[in-house]
With several copies, the nearest count.
Chain A
Amino acid sequence: MNTLHQSAKATSRLGRPISASVLIAWLVYLFLIVPSLIVVPMSFGTSNELVFPPQQWGLDLYAKALDPAQGWLSAGGRSFVLGLIATGLALMMGVPAAYGLSRTNFFGQKALSFMLLSPIFAPTIVVALALYLYFATLHINGSMLGLVMGHAVIITPFLVVTTLSGLKHLDRNIENAAMVMGATQLQVFFRVVLPAIKGPVLSGSLFAFLLSFDEVIVSWFIARSDQPTLPVKMYSSIQWEVSPVLAAISTFLVFITVIVSLVSAFAQPENTDGF
């Protein structure tokens, strides 16, 4: 009687097959993440070739990456500004569009919603080619305007999706309550809806910024070859030779990505406003 059972034992006995799937999760994770991670130690090498592990350790590659003459800094700055403007444009289009979609019941809303999101599924190469041809007729290839509009086309659907998911968790009656209390539709949108979904919208904006910041193909078509974005410059330089400085740039990009997605993950959970 009254034998003591340790909870560790309980977990291992009752939960064994579940632990198996946790093990699978870890293995899959390693499979997915290892390649991206070996770049990081490589970036702290000094040799002129990319090898793992590096034979000598140092910060030479970072010094080279930060050398203004190499053009990496200006490309990075260009990508940053482009990302900001494109995200701003996507916000102004995507949030009202998502609100319109989620708050009306009219014939074809389903279809519109499906079509609005279809660019997410569309092949990048086709979108890139199409944008190139389209912008050629508008004579905006090679301009910042072209890049901003191209990126906005790519990232707006993602903002629509994240905004829609935020709106789905927003009780429709909160808007009704505001209207009964005397608010106009504009007041409802700006004082009730927007503040309530700011978490998902912020998270979606960060994600959209990352997408823009990392985008290669559309930018490659549209950007002027002497004014590349950061990923385009990386891509161009890889086409000729895999320069070790790329490991440093890649590590920097991984770092930015981790930071932004961490921030985004904290902004995501709903009902955390102000906590």
Chain B
Amino acid sequence: MTSKLTLHGVSKRYGPVTALHPTDLEVREGEFVTLLGPSGSGKSTLLKIIAGMELPTEGRIIINGRDATEMPVRERDLGMVFQNYALMPHLTVFDNVAFPLKIRKTATEEIRRKVHDALKTVQLEHLKDRKPQALSGGQQQRVSIARAIVYNPSLVLMDEPLGALDKKLREQLQFEIKELHDRLGITILYVTHDQQEAMSMSDRVALMNGGRIEQIGTPRQLYFTPETAFAADFLGSSNFIDATVTARTSERTVCRLSSGEEIAAPSREGFSEGQKVRLMVRPEHISLLGQAVSADRNVLKGVTTGTTFFGESAEIRARLAAGSEIAIRIPNDYSLPEAEPGAPLHLEWDVRQTHVFA
């Protein structure tokens, strides 16, 4: 598949401040790639550079095979969806969607047909004569999406498009955007700080932190094999436990907690015996009732400190013998007894779900 966007060593400095370290990225035709990160991680800077609202300090940008590094915004052949819709308040829905076509001096009949198709795609044909202010937030964002795809740009940028919507609507539009992407085969570069949104929509996620891409991969890769403590913490919930490496084979690394208990994890490069490390295990991978202990399971003792009910699941918090607090996420059952604070617990989980970070 051809590449719709390629960044070679793109960076941005404002005087002495580096907003973006040299960054490479490729988005292939039909791909849905998300820039995920907290505010200040450089994702907005990167998006602005791609859109042409900022120039990179170094590096080259290739859009659809053409060098776009110094190209003005309007020649880059992009579509863009903004958080606050950015619809023109004085134009009807139809005229908003027709705007990019009119700028391109498309024939009237073709405009009518294309706008109609785009509005049909987002299921808003019936509202084409309304002004944007007369629509709900979700409808306005659908108009904005129609406007971004009606002229068939090489790449559609979406800048936190669901950030202004409430939760139910956000989930619905996540589904709609993903469905639109799959059906029309458009190429999307999506920016969000919401890890759930990134994981549920994307083909690949570029996790950004401190002005660089910390890890890039499929949602499953980021969730199940995070390469850094930041990645582990930013995507999903995580429990961190301090430990020291005591033994190491090519397959397993064994670590000792301050309580003397030992935890095994799959081996990764770069750790040596005696090194202080942080172990991570996700709350939902921990089970409560101790099964027959096998070599493939880690076991720890703890004491319940509280429980929280979330509907589809419940969280039990426990204090480990090693001192730190740990959260356990368990599927909620009707008949589940509430764990009393102070009750002793045996926690156990699969060795493969244990991660070691420096």
Contacts and interface: CB of A to CB of B under 8 A. Distances in A.
Do the two shown chains form a genuine complex with each other? yes
Interface of A: 1-5, 7, 9-10, 13-14, 171, 173-174, 176-184, 187, 191-192, 195-196, 198, 271, 273-275
23 contacts: A1-B8, A1-B9, A2-B59, A3-B69, A5-B55, A5-B57, A7-B55, A14-B72, A171-B84, A174-B89, A176-B82, A176-B86, A178-B99, A179-B74, A181-B79, A181-B147, A183-B74, A183-B103, A184-B74, A192-B88, A195-B91, A196-B88, A196-B90
A183 B96 CA distance: 13
Nearest to B133: A271
Contacts of A195: 88, 90-91
A274 B60 contact: no
B87 interface: yes
Given A182-B100, A182-B104, A173 B86 contact: yes
A5 B80 CA distance: 25
Contacts of B219: none
> Which size bracket describes the interface of B in this complex?
35 or more
Given A180-B51, A182-B100, A1 B88 contact: no
Interface string B134-159: 00000000001001000100000100
A6 B111 CA distance: 40
A14 B57 contact: no
A195 B104 CA distance: 20
Contacts of B59: 1-2
Contacts of A275: 131
Contacts of A198: 90
B90 A181 contact: no
Given A174-B88, A180-B73, A274 B131 contact: yes
A187 B80 CA distance: 18
Nearest to B22: A2
A117 B88 CA distance: 29
Given A4-B57, A180-B51, A180-B76, 18 more contacts: A3-B60, A3-B69, A4-B58, A5-B57, A9-B55, A10-B55, A14-B72, A176-B51, A176-B73, A177-B144, A180-B74, A180-B157, A181-B80, A183-B103, A187-B103, A196-B89, A196-B90, A273-B131
Contacts of A9: 55
B103 A174 contact: no
Contacts of B54: 10
A180 B90 contact: no
A7 B72 CA distance: 15
A203 to B, nearest CB: 15
